[in-house]
Chains A and B, each alone.
Chain A
Amino acid sequence: MALRGRGFVSVGAVAACCALASACSPDQAPASTPSPTLVTTTPAESQIERQMRLDYEAAEEAYRANRAEQARLYQAGGTTKVTSAMKATATDSYLRITVEALRRIKKAGWKATGATEIVGVVANRGWKENEVELTSCEDSTVVRFLDGSGKDVTPATNRRYVQALKVVKLDGRWKVSKAVTTKVNSFQGQPCGA
């Protein structure tokens, strides 16, 4: 109802305050002109929200550190020992499996070039004290493997993974505990996809 015209001035809700809010009588004096206020407010982060955010950040940091160490070891030709960086960032089945894979690389005399790309990491629904779950999209197709003679022996298998990760806090440190892998042809539509 924009009744703009000669003699009319839009003044927001000056005289209409009383009518808009049933609390006032018709005789009541108009309230002062309210100025339009800015719109968006930022909510205070609750204690639990802060804790969850920090836990997820720390868990992702541990996971990324672990993957960086794995990449280094793959490029170095595997290992038969568990490095301190691996132990600091992984535990349980995840540590055992990743170390076993590196041991196999060492035994076969292979070396890797390139490193797995972490396309994205997202926090899963739910949070527990000292345990969170992440979903990561890993693209290992860029990693090539060469045998001792320099021959490319990269496996032909699909190596695009969606990893459901369980990350636990042990003695104050977050460590990847378990990964459940789903092989995908594309990360499109995946929660962790680009």
Chain B
Amino acid sequence: MRSIRPYQILVVGIFAVLPSTVWVPVAWSEADVTCTDAGFCVNVAKQPKRSSPAKRSDANSAKDRPDGGDEENQKVREANKKFSAALAVYDRRLASYNRCLQTFDPSVNKTGCGSAPTLPDVPRLSSATFSGRGNQPTPTAGQAAAIAVARLQLPSIPPGIGPSPDINPWNMAAVGYPLWLWADGTTNVGPISDSVAGLSVSLEAEVSSLAFRMGDGNTVRCAGSGHPWTAAVQPGTKSPSCGYSYAKPSLPGRTYTVTAVANWAVTWTSNGQSGVINVPAVDTTELPVGELQVLVR
């Protein structure tokens, strides 16, 4: 399973100079560089592992060495750098998105994320950056998987809440009444295949966890996707897996914004490697909650 590629270290001149000048900052800001405590930086360039497609054959030649090669190979390396940089930007934005969702509750904390966060755009291999002969990057299997997963555009999971307020005369849920919560949508996707820069990627996704921000400051975490409420459920029965009872009404005048934050665990396989990428999805619904009274004589 593990795939460690051989790496070639380019020690670019730095070892050949005097100690007093060894520590001058290097100017390889766009390359993969490892820096150590004393500011000593070394360029680490990959020898890409090539596996298949013919369209990648030019980059597959023995001349495709990080420390040399012809102009064409130089272009490939530059394309790879640009691609890695674009993917790094995407990764940072995705990490920011994920962090935001950890606390995102539109009804309670509007300052953390502002409005509902959106997934960042995927780096486009077809963009002008990567067009033209020799400009196509040769992503690793992991990079290709990241792109394929992002392209997948997994659906959000609408929060399922039952019994629905629509089926009672007051069109509201009631304080103290056990509500059932579940993922009201597809919770499995795939297997699906995609091709990224000549690499085939197989994907299979499932919702691995689900959390409901109930809009009153509380969060319900469900181990699975919850059990849907049906009309056959006896009144007052609690959900066997995922439920909630409001302690306070939202009415009059307000509704609770219930937010479902789901995690899609996407298992990918490409080029003999595999892994899991977690992709969150968020969706909301409005729920009026009121108190019911009975007359005691």
Give the distance to chain A from B233, nearest Cβ to Cβ, in Å: 6
Q: Does B130 sit at the interface, judged by CB under 8 A?
A: no
Residues of B within 8 A of A155 (CB): 23-24, 38-39
Q: Is the CB of B23 within 8 A of A16?
A: no
Give the distance to chain A from B1, nearest Cβ to Cβ, in Å: 5
Q: Which of B111-119, B185-193, B285-293 contacts A (4 or more CB under 8 A)?
A: B285-293
Residues of B within 8 A of A32 (CB): 236
Q: Does B214 sit at the interface, judged by CB under 8 A?
A: yes
Q: Does B126 sit at the interface, judged by CB under 8 A?
A: no
Q: Which of B42, B169, B170 contacts A97 (CB 8 A)?
A: B42
Q: Is the CB of A22 within 8 A of B168?
A: yes
Q: Does B276 sit at the interface, judged by CB under 8 A?
A: yes
Q: Does A157 sit at the interface, judged by CB under 8 A?
A: yes
Give the distance to chain A from B87, nearest Cβ to Cβ, in Å: 11
Give the distance to chain A from B280, nearest Cβ to Cβ, in Å: 11
Residues of A within 8 A of B29 (CB): 183
Give the distance to chain A from B88, nearest Cβ to Cβ, in Å: 8
Give the distance to chain A from B41, nearest Cβ to Cβ, in Å: 7
Residues of A within 8 A of B249 (CB): 1-2
Q: Does A129 sit at the interface, judged by CB under 8 A?
A: yes
Residues of B within 8 A of A44 (CB): 223
User: What is the count of residue pairs linking A and B with beta-carbon distances less than 8 angstroms?
Assistant: 254
Chain B count of residues within 8 A CB distance of the other chain:
88
Tell me the residues in window 44-71 of chain A with beta carbons closer than 8 Å to chain B beta carbons: 44, 46, 48-49, 52, 70-71
Q: Give Cα A124–Cα B11 distance, bound, in whole angstroms.
A: 28
Interface flags, A140-173, vs B, CB<8A=1, else 0 = 1001010000000111111101010000110000
Chain B residues in the interface with A (C-beta under 8 A) = 1-4, 7, 9, 11, 15, 19-20, 22-25, 29, 32-42, 44, 91-92, 94-96, 98-99, 142, 145-146, 163, 167-170, 173-178, 208-209, 214, 218-223, 231-236, 238, 242-247, 249, 251-252, 265, 273-278, 290-297
Residues of A within 8 A of B4 (CB): 92, 131, 168, 177
Q: Which of B9, B35, B98, B238 contacts A161 (CB 8 A)?
A: B35
Q: Contacts A41-B222, A101-B36: A10 and B236 contacting too (C-beta < 8 A)?
A: no
Q: Give Cα A8–Cα B33 distance, bound, in whole angstroms.
A: 74
Q: Contacts A13-B175, A104-B15: A125 and B94 contacting too (C-beta < 8 A)?
A: yes
Q: Give Cα A116–Cα B38 distance, bound, in whole angstroms.
A: 10
Q: Is the CB of A10 within 8 A of B218?
A: no
Interface centre among A94, A98, A127, A157 (most CB of B within 10 A): A157
Known A-B contacts: A31-B236, A92-B7. Give 9 more (CB < 8 A): A1-B252, A12-B291, A20-B173, A31-B235, A34-B236, A39-B218, A40-B220, A159-B35, A161-B35
Give the distance to chain B from A73, nearest Cβ to Cβ, in Å: 10
Q: Is the CB of A181 within 8 A of B34?
A: yes
Q: Is the CB of B38 within 8 A of A101?
A: yes
Give the distance to chain B from A191, nearest Cβ to Cβ, in Å: 5
Q: Give Cα A131–Cα B2 distance, bound, in whole angstroms.
A: 7
Q: Is the CB of B244 within 8 A of A39?
A: yes
Q: Give Cα A128–Cα B276 distance, bound, in whole angstroms.
A: 7
Give the distance to chain B from A178, nearest Cβ to Cβ, in Å: 7
Q: Give Cα A117–Cα B296 distance, bound, in whole angstroms.
A: 68
Q: Which of A39, A104, A130 contacts B1 (CB 8 A)?
A: A130
Q: Is the CB of A125 within 8 A of B95?
A: yes
Q: Is the CB of A23 within 8 A of B234?
A: yes
